[in-house]
Protein backbone atom coordinates (compact mmCIF):
# COMPACT_ATOMS: atom_id res chain seq x y z
CA UNK A 1 0.00 0.00 0.00
CA UNK A 2 2.88 2.34 0.74
CA UNK A 3 4.22 2.30 -2.77
CA UNK A 4 1.02 3.46 -4.45
CA UNK A 5 0.49 6.13 -1.77
CA UNK A 6 4.05 7.38 -2.23
CA UNK A 7 3.53 7.39 -5.97
CA UNK A 8 0.37 9.41 -5.59
CA UNK A 9 2.14 11.81 -3.26
CA UNK A 10 4.93 12.27 -5.74
CA UNK A 11 2.44 12.88 -8.52
CA UNK A 12 0.58 15.36 -6.35
CA UNK A 13 3.86 17.08 -5.55
CA UNK A 14 4.84 17.27 -9.22
CA UNK A 15 1.42 18.59 -10.14
CA UNK A 16 1.65 21.19 -7.41
CA UNK A 17 5.11 22.21 -8.53
CA UNK A 18 3.92 22.36 -12.12
CA UNK A 19 1.01 24.58 -11.12
CA UNK A 20 3.36 26.82 -9.12
CA UNK A 21 5.78 26.89 -12.04
CA UNK A 22 3.03 27.83 -14.47
CA UNK A 23 1.77 30.52 -12.13
CA UNK A 24 5.29 31.87 -11.73
CA UNK A 25 5.83 31.83 -15.46
CA UNK A 26 2.57 33.69 -16.03
CA UNK A 27 3.51 36.19 -13.34
CA UNK A 28 6.89 36.75 -14.97
CA UNK A 29 5.21 37.14 -18.34
CA UNK A 30 2.82 39.75 -16.97
CA UNK A 31 5.67 41.61 -15.26
CA UNK A 32 7.69 41.55 -18.50
CA UNK A 33 4.73 42.89 -20.47
CA UNK A 34 4.14 45.63 -17.93
CA UNK A 35 7.83 46.53 -17.97
CA UNK A 36 7.84 46.62 -21.78
CA UNK A 37 4.72 48.78 -21.78
CA UNK A 38 6.29 51.11 -19.24
CA UNK A 39 9.44 51.32 -21.36
CA UNK A 40 7.39 52.11 -24.46
CA UNK A 41 5.43 54.73 -22.54
CA UNK A 42 8.65 56.26 -21.25
CA UNK A 43 10.07 56.35 -24.78
CA UNK A 44 6.88 57.93 -26.07
CA UNK A 45 7.13 60.80 -23.60
CA UNK A 46 10.89 61.29 -23.77
CA UNK A 47 12.07 64.42 -25.55
CA UNK A 48 8.53 65.68 -26.03
CA UNK A 49 8.14 68.91 -28.00
CA UNK A 50 5.57 71.66 -27.49
CA UNK A 51 3.66 72.64 -30.62
CA UNK A 52 2.71 76.31 -30.99
CA UNK A 53 -0.54 77.44 -29.41
CA UNK A 54 -1.40 79.14 -32.68
CA UNK A 55 -0.19 78.73 -36.22
CA UNK A 56 1.74 75.90 -37.81
CA UNK A 57 5.17 74.31 -37.54
CA UNK A 58 7.43 75.37 -40.45
CA UNK A 59 9.41 72.44 -41.87
CA UNK A 60 12.27 73.19 -44.28
CA UNK A 61 13.50 70.50 -46.67
CA UNK A 62 17.08 71.31 -47.69
CA UNK A 63 17.72 69.99 -51.19
CA UNK A 64 20.28 70.20 -53.97
CA UNK A 65 21.33 68.20 -57.02
CA UNK A 66 20.91 64.46 -56.57
CA UNK A 67 18.61 64.71 -53.54
CA UNK A 68 17.27 61.20 -52.90
CA UNK A 69 13.50 61.17 -53.41
CA UNK A 70 12.38 58.90 -50.56
CA UNK A 71 14.72 60.65 -48.12
CA UNK A 72 12.70 63.85 -48.27
CA UNK A 73 9.40 62.79 -49.86
CA UNK A 74 8.90 60.11 -47.20
CA UNK A 75 9.08 62.60 -44.30
CA UNK A 76 7.17 65.15 -46.43
CA UNK A 77 4.25 62.71 -46.71
CA UNK A 78 4.35 61.97 -42.98
CA UNK A 79 4.13 65.63 -41.98
CA UNK A 80 1.52 66.28 -44.68
CA UNK A 81 -0.74 63.48 -43.41
CA UNK A 82 -0.84 64.54 -39.75
CA UNK A 83 -4.40 65.40 -38.79
CA UNK A 84 -5.31 67.13 -35.54
CA UNK A 85 -9.13 67.36 -35.07
CA UNK A 86 -10.30 70.96 -35.13
CA UNK A 87 -6.95 72.23 -36.36
CA UNK A 88 -5.65 73.14 -39.79
CA UNK A 89 -2.63 71.32 -41.20
CA UNK A 90 -0.16 71.48 -38.28
CA UNK A 91 2.98 71.44 -40.43
CA UNK A 92 3.88 73.95 -43.16
CA UNK A 93 6.27 72.37 -45.66
CA UNK A 94 8.67 74.06 -48.05
CA UNK A 95 11.92 73.40 -49.92
CA UNK A 96 15.12 75.44 -49.64
CA UNK A 97 18.18 75.43 -51.89
CA UNK A 98 21.01 77.64 -53.12
CA UNK A 99 18.82 79.16 -55.81
CA UNK A 100 15.28 79.05 -57.14
CA UNK A 101 16.05 77.07 -60.26
CA UNK A 102 15.14 73.50 -61.15
CA UNK A 103 17.35 70.88 -59.55
CA UNK A 104 17.57 67.29 -60.72
CA UNK A 105 16.80 64.96 -57.85
CA UNK A 106 17.45 61.23 -57.78
CA UNK A 107 16.09 59.37 -60.79
CA UNK A 108 15.79 62.54 -62.86
CA UNK A 109 12.90 64.26 -61.08
CA UNK A 110 12.96 68.04 -61.61
CA UNK A 111 12.13 70.19 -58.58
CA UNK A 112 11.91 73.96 -58.29
CA UNK A 113 12.80 74.98 -54.70
CA UNK A 114 10.43 77.35 -52.90
CA UNK A 115 13.13 79.51 -51.31
CA UNK A 116 16.84 80.21 -51.28
CA UNK A 117 18.94 80.25 -48.13
CA UNK A 118 18.80 84.04 -48.31
CA UNK A 119 15.01 84.37 -48.04
CA UNK A 120 13.70 81.12 -46.51
CA UNK A 121 11.29 81.37 -43.57
CA UNK A 122 12.71 80.48 -40.17
CA UNK A 123 12.16 76.73 -39.66
CA UNK A 124 11.32 74.80 -36.51
CA UNK A 125 12.14 71.50 -38.24
CA UNK A 126 14.83 70.92 -40.87
CA UNK A 127 15.01 67.78 -43.01
CA UNK A 128 18.32 67.01 -44.76
CA UNK A 129 18.22 64.15 -47.31
CA UNK A 130 21.12 62.49 -49.09
CA UNK A 131 22.31 64.79 -51.89
CA UNK A 132 25.34 66.25 -53.62
CA UNK A 133 28.23 68.01 -51.89
CA UNK A 134 26.76 70.84 -49.78
CA UNK A 135 27.59 74.46 -50.53
CA UNK A 136 28.99 76.81 -47.91
CA UNK A 137 25.67 78.67 -47.96
CA UNK A 138 23.83 75.45 -47.13
CA UNK A 139 26.12 74.57 -44.24
CA UNK A 140 25.99 78.11 -42.85
CA UNK A 141 22.19 78.18 -43.09
CA UNK A 142 21.77 74.82 -41.36
CA UNK A 143 24.25 75.81 -38.65
CA UNK A 144 22.57 79.15 -38.01
CA UNK A 145 18.96 77.91 -38.26
CA UNK A 146 19.59 74.99 -35.92
CA UNK A 147 20.14 77.47 -33.08
CA UNK A 148 16.34 77.86 -33.03
CA UNK A 149 14.97 74.58 -34.37
CA UNK A 150 13.06 71.98 -32.40
CA UNK A 151 14.53 69.28 -34.64
CA UNK A 152 17.21 69.29 -37.32
CA UNK A 153 17.15 65.83 -38.84
CA UNK A 154 19.15 64.07 -41.52
CA UNK A 155 18.13 61.03 -43.52
CA UNK A 156 20.50 58.47 -45.03
CA UNK A 157 23.79 60.08 -46.10
CA UNK A 158 22.25 63.45 -45.36
CA UNK A 159 24.15 62.76 -42.12
CA UNK A 160 27.33 63.70 -44.00
CA UNK A 161 25.86 67.14 -44.69
CA UNK A 162 24.84 67.60 -41.06
CA UNK A 163 28.22 66.32 -39.88
CA UNK A 164 30.04 68.88 -42.05
CA UNK A 165 28.36 71.67 -40.07
CA UNK A 166 30.25 70.49 -36.98
CA UNK A 167 27.00 70.25 -35.02
CA UNK A 168 27.37 66.49 -34.51
CA UNK A 169 30.90 66.63 -33.10
CA UNK A 170 31.18 64.69 -29.81
CA UNK A 171 27.66 63.36 -30.31
CA UNK A 172 26.28 60.07 -31.64
CA UNK A 173 24.69 59.59 -35.04
CA UNK A 174 23.77 57.04 -37.66
CA UNK A 175 23.55 56.96 -41.44
CA UNK A 176 22.97 54.62 -44.39
CA UNK A 177 24.49 51.20 -43.63
CA UNK A 178 26.55 51.20 -46.84
CA UNK A 179 28.21 54.44 -45.71
CA UNK A 180 29.22 53.34 -42.20
CA UNK A 181 32.91 52.89 -42.96
CA UNK A 182 33.28 56.14 -44.87
CA UNK A 183 31.34 58.12 -42.26
CA UNK A 184 33.41 56.73 -39.40
CA UNK A 185 36.64 57.61 -41.19
CA UNK A 186 35.57 61.10 -42.25
CA UNK A 187 34.11 62.08 -38.90
CA UNK A 188 36.12 60.50 -36.08
CA UNK A 189 34.68 63.01 -33.57
CA UNK A 190 31.20 61.52 -34.05
CA UNK A 191 30.16 58.26 -32.40
CA UNK A 192 28.67 56.13 -35.17
CA UNK A 193 25.78 53.95 -34.00
CA UNK A 194 25.40 50.95 -36.27
CA UNK A 195 22.06 49.20 -35.98
CA UNK A 196 20.09 52.30 -34.97
CA UNK A 197 16.97 53.20 -36.92
CA UNK A 198 17.50 56.75 -35.75
CA UNK A 199 19.53 58.62 -33.13
CA UNK A 200 18.40 61.68 -31.17
CA UNK A 201 20.66 64.25 -29.51
CA UNK A 202 18.75 67.25 -28.19
CA UNK A 203 17.44 69.06 -31.27
CA UNK A 204 19.59 66.96 -33.60
CA UNK A 205 18.48 63.64 -35.06
CA UNK A 206 19.89 61.30 -37.68
CA UNK A 207 18.07 58.47 -39.45
CA UNK A 208 19.43 55.40 -41.19
CA UNK A 209 18.95 54.88 -44.90
CA UNK A 210 16.00 55.73 -47.13
CA UNK A 211 12.80 54.48 -45.44
CA UNK A 212 14.27 55.21 -42.00
CA UNK A 213 13.38 58.85 -42.64
CA UNK A 214 9.69 57.94 -42.52
CA UNK A 215 10.20 56.46 -39.06
CA UNK A 216 12.14 59.46 -37.80
CA UNK A 217 9.45 61.81 -39.13
CA UNK A 218 6.78 59.78 -37.33
CA UNK A 219 8.92 60.00 -34.21
CA UNK A 220 8.98 63.80 -34.59
CA UNK A 221 5.18 63.79 -34.90
CA UNK A 222 5.03 61.69 -31.76
CA UNK A 223 7.26 64.13 -29.89
CA UNK A 224 4.92 67.00 -30.81
CA UNK A 225 1.49 65.40 -30.58
CA UNK A 226 1.85 62.03 -28.85
CA UNK A 227 1.88 58.40 -29.86
CA UNK A 228 -1.82 58.20 -30.71
CA UNK A 229 -1.55 60.93 -33.35
CA UNK A 230 1.64 59.40 -34.79
CA UNK A 231 0.02 55.95 -34.92
CA UNK A 232 -3.04 57.40 -36.63
CA UNK A 233 -0.80 59.11 -39.16
CA UNK A 234 0.96 55.82 -39.92
CA UNK A 235 -2.44 54.12 -40.22
CA UNK A 236 -3.74 56.72 -42.65
CA UNK A 237 -0.59 56.27 -44.75
CA UNK A 238 -1.05 52.48 -44.63
CA UNK A 239 2.49 52.39 -43.28
CA UNK A 240 3.04 49.24 -41.24
CA UNK A 241 6.62 49.84 -40.15
CA UNK A 242 7.23 49.88 -36.40
CA UNK A 243 10.70 51.39 -36.41
CA UNK A 244 9.48 54.81 -35.25
CA UNK A 245 8.63 53.25 -31.87
CA UNK A 246 12.06 51.65 -31.43
CA UNK A 247 15.19 53.66 -32.20
CA UNK A 248 17.34 50.52 -32.07
CA UNK A 249 15.33 48.46 -34.54
CA UNK A 250 17.96 48.38 -37.29
CA UNK A 251 20.04 45.67 -35.63
CA UNK A 252 20.24 43.67 -38.86
CA UNK A 253 22.73 46.34 -40.02
CA UNK A 254 24.79 46.29 -36.82
CA UNK A 255 26.97 43.46 -38.14
CA UNK A 256 29.23 44.26 -41.07
CA UNK A 257 28.93 41.73 -43.94
CA UNK A 258 32.13 39.84 -44.69
CA UNK A 259 33.58 39.89 -48.17
CA UNK A 260 34.73 36.56 -49.57
CA UNK A 261 36.40 35.41 -52.77
CA UNK A 262 33.11 33.82 -53.85
CA UNK A 263 30.99 36.85 -52.91
CA UNK A 264 33.15 39.98 -52.91
CA UNK A 265 31.84 43.22 -51.44
CA UNK A 266 32.93 46.77 -52.14
CA UNK A 267 35.24 47.71 -49.23
CA UNK A 268 33.92 51.28 -49.30
CA UNK A 269 30.14 50.79 -49.29
CA UNK A 270 29.80 47.07 -48.52
CA UNK A 271 27.55 46.35 -51.49
CA UNK A 272 27.79 43.33 -53.79
CA UNK A 273 30.10 43.68 -56.76
CA UNK A 274 30.74 41.76 -59.96
CA UNK A 275 34.49 40.97 -60.25
CA UNK A 276 34.13 40.61 -64.01
CA UNK A 277 33.05 44.19 -64.61
CA UNK A 278 33.86 46.17 -61.43
CA UNK A 279 36.76 48.61 -61.03
CA UNK A 280 39.50 47.11 -58.90
CA UNK A 281 42.67 47.91 -56.98
CA UNK A 282 45.42 45.72 -55.58
CA UNK A 283 46.68 46.54 -52.10
CA UNK A 284 49.27 44.44 -50.26
CA UNK A 285 48.61 41.50 -52.53
CA UNK A 286 44.83 41.55 -52.13
CA UNK A 287 42.47 42.55 -54.93
CA UNK A 288 39.58 44.81 -53.98
CA UNK A 289 36.55 45.37 -56.22
CA UNK A 290 34.33 48.46 -56.17
CA UNK A 291 30.78 49.50 -57.00
CA UNK A 292 31.95 52.57 -58.85
CA UNK A 293 34.99 54.57 -59.92
CA UNK A 294 34.23 57.03 -57.12
CA UNK A 295 34.47 54.24 -54.52
CA UNK A 296 37.76 53.14 -56.07
CA UNK A 297 39.12 56.70 -55.78
CA UNK A 298 38.00 56.86 -52.17
CA UNK A 299 39.75 53.58 -51.43
CA UNK A 300 42.93 54.50 -53.30
CA UNK A 301 43.21 57.72 -51.26
CA UNK A 302 43.41 55.76 -47.98
CA UNK A 303 43.69 52.02 -48.68
CA UNK A 304 45.13 51.19 -45.27
CA UNK A 305 42.00 52.48 -43.52
CA UNK A 306 39.57 50.55 -45.68
CA UNK A 307 41.68 47.41 -45.61
CA UNK A 308 41.68 47.55 -41.81
CA UNK A 309 37.93 48.17 -41.70
CA UNK A 310 37.42 45.17 -43.99
CA UNK A 311 39.94 42.81 -42.43
CA UNK A 312 37.46 39.97 -42.90
CA UNK A 313 38.42 39.91 -46.57
Q: Which is more confidently placed, 56 or 31? A: 56
Q: What are the sequence ranges of the domains in the chain?
A: 1-45, 57-253, 257-313
Provide the percentage of residues in the chain whose pLDDT is more than 70. 83
CATH hierarchy code of domain 57-253: 3.40.50.880
Residues 183-206: tens digit of each pLDDT: 999 999 999 999 999 999 999 999
For the stretch 55-108, pLDDT in tens is 999 999 999 999 999 999 999 999 999 999 888 899 999 999 999 999 999 999
Q: From 128, 135, 131, select the one nearest 59 (Cα to Cα).
A: 128
pTM (two decimals): 0.81
Angle between helix 212-225 and helix 227-236 axes, rounded to 10 deg = 140
- Helix axis angle for 69-81 and 227-236, nearest 10°, is 110
DSSP 243: G
Residue 44: band (very low, low, confident or very high) from pLDDT cuts 50, 70, 90: low
Helix (H, G, I), strand (E, B) or coil at 89: coil
* CATH match for 257-313 among 2.40.50, 3.40.50, 2.30.170, 3.40.1350: 2.30.170
Amino acid sequence: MNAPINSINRRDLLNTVSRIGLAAALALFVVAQLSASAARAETATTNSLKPPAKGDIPVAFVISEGAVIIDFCGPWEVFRDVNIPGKDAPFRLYTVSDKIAPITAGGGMKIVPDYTFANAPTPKVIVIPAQSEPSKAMLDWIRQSTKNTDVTMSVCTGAFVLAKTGLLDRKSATTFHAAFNTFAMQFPKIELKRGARFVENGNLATAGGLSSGIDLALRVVERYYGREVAAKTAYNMEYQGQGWMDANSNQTYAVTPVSTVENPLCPVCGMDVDPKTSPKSVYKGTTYYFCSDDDKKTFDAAPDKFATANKGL
